[in-house]
Structure 1
Amino acid sequence: MVAAGRCRLHRGDPQDERRQVRQEGAAREVPDPRAPNGVTDEITIRPITADDFDAVAELLAELGRPTLSDASRAAAAEVYRRHVDRSDTASLLAERDGRAIGFCSLEFRDRLNWGVEQAWIPDLIVTADTRGLGAGKALLARAFQLAAQRGCWSVTLESGYQRTAAHELYRSSGMSNDGYYFLLRMADPPA
Structure 2
Amino acid sequence: MTETGTGAAREPVVSGRVWTVPNALSMLRLVGVPVFLWLILTEHDTAALIVLALSGVTDYLDGKIARRYGLISRLGQLLDPIADRLYILSTLLGLAWRDIIPWWLVAVLLSRELFVLALGPSLRRHQLAIPPVHFVGKAATFNLIYAFPLLLLAEGGSVVADIARPMGWAFAWWGTGLYWLAAVMYAAQIRGMVKHKKAVSA
User: How high is the TM-score relative to the length of structure 1?
Assistant: 0.26
Relative contact order higher in (CA < 8 Å, ≥ 6 apart)? 1
Q: Which structure's residues are more often strand, by fraction?
A: 1
Q: Which structure's residues are more often helix, by fraction?
A: 2
User: How high is the TM-score relative to the length of structure 2?
Assistant: 0.25
